A and B are shown apart, each in its own frame.
Chain A
């Protein structure tokens, strides 16, 4: 197998720790590469990242291109663009994936712009398939699938005429598989010449808090939408979550209306979740929201509108006012449990 033409992942690190989304993408890259019969490669940049590079390999990476420099400890646009561009130009991967994080969304477009290649943001699925442009047949290209236009459509985007084909994917969308401790991959150190003038962004202060809301790890999520209407009513959502030992989620509309803070947002532009049980209260079920929770094992929908799209993916549906349904739910659970 050639070492070129790989499926490559830009592996993001924050404070020296590889981001979960990057490991999820590595697992997806492995799947795509197996289908294409090629290798998986990764770019990792930072300061003293050797141990993390070894960790990345265990998720199925054949070759990690490791760039170490004190100036790369924290992401800034210009030096990282230089690093990633150089490696892509030398290694000529056919596909490059980025996490749709603030870093990935800062970096990916710069690379696309520099190399004049396509980039599709926030894909919810990636597949391999064929495509025809006029008389030209392209085989084994990347289908970049994403909701678009307010979520009313799902678009399959292709960019077969330019290499690499690139996409960003949000955290939680792809599944992380178990690492394989003795997976045989290699670390290739790469030196990139960085000038003082490349460091145009000076980080004065950096504050990161561990997420107080842990939607991704939650087994049960009780989510409220715009149908909850008021902050006062939202307390009912919180109460049900408390009683069930669940995390509180929300739709974007509820967040935009100020009913609850953004870290609670589930959906395409929020967190993607796959809990054992998802209870959607007063959520109509836009495609963006469903993109972030449709994989839940069981879904209960509570909505006054019997035609709400959320009922289309729910396992249990209750047509009714959540202000009546939730207290009954709580009462029933307390009686049984």
Chain B
């Protein structure tokens, strides 16, 4: 059997284009009000897994995401790029999960896949920038991790080891770890390949093989029937304990959300003229800020 790889991806709101309407009153995010994108570093993680598959063609690339139904879009994009199997972990009872509850659900899903050699994910997602879900998932799986990876330097299939370069402050480390291991990727390496046109045609109508009353499939581009490459997993499907999911499995609570309000300081507007600027420089030299 070839290498069994799992890639964890996330659909995120494009935080660069945010508006005030995107926040709900309780401080949670109204994701519908924002354009949703494939979390950038997760695309690098997917590319890393696909690069491994290029070298080891019998490797299997499984992509998992947890999120509401529209998150299926990042799974489709993964299929277009070369993933073998994708699953959407979606259940209303996952709602309001913090990083701990999220990592628990991902752990359950990874165990459902079983016999995984390497787990790949982005270092962090742009909506929270926490960089916690990768290591938390590794800990729950009881496996080693290599964070902030820029490059995989080699894989020894026989010895079941991987060598990778990871970024640290002011430099880098080259490390080796046995399988199974979770790697988190920065955007320094593995420029994502474009989607393949042939795969897009094959998968554009990909649909889930499980139907659920709670599941809104209206986002799909029409249903061409069962597609075994794309699965929908709810809490029962991944054998998760409800108590550890969603809000009840999340120790962190949002106490307060403040919109950023700027306090008007004693700003002195300087005229954009040689005289205005010279006066400011004079002031700054006089009070010893400059010079």
Interface residues of B in 109-146 (CB under 8 A from A): 126-140, 144-146
B18 & A150 in contact (Cβ 8 Å cutoff): yes
Interface contact A154-B270, CB-CB below 8 Å: no
Nearest CB to that of A210 among chain B residues?
Answer: B170
Contact of B281 among A77, A103, A333 (CB under 8 A): A333
Interface membership of A117, Cβ < 8 A: yes
Which of B18, B129, B174 makes the CB contact (< 8 A) with A121?
B129
User: Once bound together, how far apart are the Cα atoms of A145 and B289, in whole Å?
Assistant: 31
| Chain B residues positioned under 8 Å from A81 (CB to CB) | 139
Contact of B254 among A155, A207, A297 (CB under 8 A): A155
B192 at the A interface (CB under 8 A): no
In the complex, the answer to whether B147 meets A106 with C-beta atoms within 8 Å is: yes
Task: Say yes or no: B291 contacts A337, CB within 8 Å.
Answer: yes
Q: Classify chain A's interface size.
A: 35 or more
Q: Are B265 and A315 in contact (CB under 8 A)?
A: yes
Query: A105 to B290, alpha carbons, bound, how many Å?
Result: 38
Which of A34-42, A53-61, A63-71, A320-328 touches B? A320-328
- Bound Cα distance from A324 to B274, whole angstroms: 10
- Which residue on chain A has the smallest CB distance to residue B161? A202
Tell me the bound Cα distance from A88 to B128 in angstroms. Answer: 26
B103 at the interface (CB under 8 A from A): yes
- Enumerate A39-93 residues with CB–CB distance to B below 8 Å: 76-78, 81
Does the CB pair A153–B262 fall under 8 Å?
Answer: no
Find B147's partner among A102, A112, A324 (CB 8 Å cutoff): A102
The chain A residue sitting closest to B262, CB to CB, is A312
Query: A314 at the A/B interface (Cβ < 8 Å)?
Result: yes
- The answer to whether A207 and B171 touch across the interface, beta carbons within 8 angstroms, is yes
Contact B135 A277 (CB under 8 A): no
CB distance from B99 to the nearest CB of A (A): 7
Please tell me the size bucket of the interface on B.
35 or more
The answer on a CB contact under 8 Å between A120 and B168 is no
CA distance A186 to B17 in the complex (A): 51
B145 touches A77 (CB 8 A): yes
- B50 shortest CB reach to chain A, Å: 24
- Choose among A117, A200, A208, A269 the residue that contacts B177 (Cβ–Cβ < 8 A): A200
Contact between A109 and B131 (Cβ–Cβ < 8 Å)? yes
B98–A118 CB distance below 8 A: yes
Cβ-defined partner of A220 (8 Å) among B259, B268, B281, B290: B290
Whether a CB of chain B sits under 8 angstroms from the CB of A181 is: no
Binds B, one of A1-9, A23-31, A156-164, A230-238: A156-164
> Nearest-CB distance from A253 to chain B (Å)?
9
Q: Is the CB of A116 within 8 A of B100?
A: yes
A 198-239 to B, binary, CB cutoff 8 A, 1 in contact else 0: 001111111111110000000010000000000000000000
- Chain B residues within 8 Å of A201, by CB: 144, 146, 175-177
CB distance from B252 to the nearest CB of A (A): 4
A74 and B120 alpha carbons, distance in the complex (Å): 24
Residues of B within 8 A of A14 (CB): 169
The distance from the CB of B176 to the nearest CB of chain A, in whole angstroms, is 4
| B140: chain A residues within 8 A (beta carbon) | 113
Q: Determine if A247 is an interface residue (Cβ-Cβ < 8 Å).
A: no
Query: Quick check: B136 and A155 within 8 Å, CB to CB?
Result: no
Distance in Å: Cβ of B147 to nearest Cβ of chain A:
5
**Would you give the shortest CB distance from B164 to chain A, in whole angstroms?**
10
Q: Interface 1/0s, chain B 138-159, versus A by CB < 8 A?
A: 1110001111100000000000
- The docked-state distance in angstroms from the alpha carbon of A240 to that of B29 is 41
- A133 and B248 alpha carbons, distance in the complex (Å): 13
Name 21 A/B residue pairs within 8 A (Cβ), A-sorted.
A102-B169, A105-B132, A118-B100, A143-B255, A149-B13, A152-B23, A153-B27, A154-B257, A156-B257, A157-B252, A202-B175, A204-B176, A206-B173, A206-B174, A211-B170, A276-B289, A316-B269, A319-B269, A325-B272, A335-B278, A336-B281
